[in-house]
Amino acid sequence: MSTKHWSFGWIGIACILASASVGQAVVWTGANGGDVGQNRWSQAGNWDAGVPTASDKAYINDSSSSKYGAVFLDDSFAAVGSVVVVGNGSSNTGKLTVYSGSSLTADLLKVGDLGADGFVTFKPGSTLTTNNNDIRIGASSQASSYGHVHFEGTATDAMTATINGAILVGSANAGDLVIEGATVNATSSLHLGLADNKNANLTLMEHVSGATGTLTVGLRAIIGDNAGTTGTVNQTANTVFRSTTSRTDRPFRLGEAGNGIWNMAGGVFEITGGQTLGMAINGGSTGTFNMSGGTMRVPDIIAGGGTATFDFSGGEIFLPGDRVGFAAANAFFDVTGETGGYSYFEMYDNGNNETRLFYAIPEPATLGVLCLGGTMMMVRRRRK
């Protein structure tokens, strides 16, 4: 009997300790108000229960009424929270700006929740870390719940985001993510467009200072996840996208059940680990890849049961092995860059065991340089 009594007692104590570790909901009030110097995360008087701790849920329900419009995370302050929600509650607008030297660490970051709009900006020199969970942008299915996140880094002041989970843009409503000269790493997947009949957008771009915008995902990317959704990616010069998983059952999917669009004007697009670039996977889906510049390296490009289109008008594509004849064998692959004297070529390099798809002006001097060493084969494909 006594043994059962003590067992019950220890279980009760454990439950109390576990519940105590969950923390509390701490809500932004902006009570200090007034000016930029008083609108800071680090000021206890701006929260209803003091500055959030690592076990607290921090809610920035509505910061639009303050003079400067956004909660400022500056003064090299390290902000924490188990869950941080920016924009929470019907008709509210939550805004957070994280400045150089400051950081935000949370188990989960939700931007735009329960009918509210959320806007988060990470300035050059700031950092974001999520611990074993996601960043969810457009996190509520309630009407008018929109999320926007902007990561900005410069050539001299880097911005780094480490997502130990997934990046969900448009997870339950419309959402936008901008990576401008910043470095973003996610251990899990990238999803654009999970909410029915909503749009989700990703912009991967160079900063005006010359900083490279980089996004690396450790599992897979699904653009246009659910039926009725549209996910769009715009990638410009001096950017890098990488998908690095070794799991072949988790391929890149442009148009899973919805509509996926990737516009690549430059930069690097790279899939490693045996994945394929799959487009329009399920019936009724669409997958459209518009490539006008940059470099792509992928194990393969395939079409599923939907409507797939790869519009190749510029840049270069590298495929492993001898893939000469790739365009002729795949009806979804459109060669549209044969203008101004340029022709489309497929060239196998048996030294590196890879095939390069590209455009060039077919002059004897140019072709002689390309064929140095006599280890390459070329096929010219005329536009139909």
pLDDT digits (tens, 9 = 90+) for 90-125: 778 889 999 999 999 999 999 988 888 999 999 999
At residue 1, does pLDDT exceed 60? Answer: no
Which tokens sit at 363? Answer: 């002059």
Which tokens sit at 186? Answer: 């996610």
More confident residue, 234 or 15: 234
H-run or E-run covering 326: helix 326-329
378 — pLDDT class (breaks 50, 70, 90): low
294 neighbors 238 (Cβ within 8 angstroms): no
Cα–Cα distance, 96 to 150 (Å, whole number): 11
Beta strands 343-349 and 376-381, pairing class? antiparallel
What's 224's DSSP letter? S
At residue 160, does pLDDT exceed 70? Answer: yes
At residue 344, what is the residue type? Y
pTM of the model: 0.90
Distances, alpha carbon 30 to alpha carbons 40, 91, 106, 147, 263, in Å:
8, 18, 21, 21, 41
